[in-house]
Amino acid sequence: MRSKTDIEKALQAAAHHCQNQKKRLTQQREKVLSVILSVDTAMTAYQLLDLLKKDHLPNAHPPTIYRALEFLIDSGLIHRIEANNSYIACDHIQCSHAHQPTQFLLCDVCGSVAETTLKSGQLNAMKESAKQYGFSLNDRSLELHGVCQQCQATMQ
């Protein structure tokens, strides 16, 4: 779990990132990002909405959260995990460079998500394999399911 100081640093980096992109990180968007940064697992939009209503934005409605999530994704500050339609903060908010494409390691036991960057050799191998079938890959994220190290330890 991120400390309050880490969350504040990430929010400052996010504001700077948006400013560089000539985008506006509104107070609502910042609150949504703050909630996402404060949890350890990916959360659905409705889970985020419940947390926002409880502690930050009592009058928030689904369109509010979906607009904020769309902005945060487009700005490169969060990721959408397609397998379960959930959202997680980008591990690289405080970096000044892009980390694409991304690989997510999803634990099927506890729901944790680890973000890693695909190495160019891995991506090239996948592109070559797809090319054999006349298929052209987009540079998108890859989601892999398994069991994290912590859960493996508790299963033994």
Task: Specify the CATH superfamily of domain 102-155.
Answer: Ferric-uptake regulator, C-terminal dimerisarion domain (3.30.1490.190)
List the CATH code of the domain at 4-89. Answer: 1.10.10.10
Contact 80, 141 (CB under 8 A): no
pTM score, whole prediction: 0.83
Q: Which of 90, 61, 60, 63 is nearest to 75 (CA)?
A: 90
Q: What is the pLDDT of residues 119-154, one digit of tens each?
A: 878 888 988 999 999 998 876 778 999 999 999 999
Which stretches of the chain are DSSP H helices?
Answer: 4-20, 27-37, 45-55, 62-74, 120-131, 149-155
Buried b or exposed e, range 6-23, using 16+ CB within 10 angstroms: ebeebbebbeebbeeeee
Predicted local confidence at residue 139, as pLDDT: 66
* pLDDT over 90, % of the chain: 60
Domain ranges in the chain are 4-89, 102-155
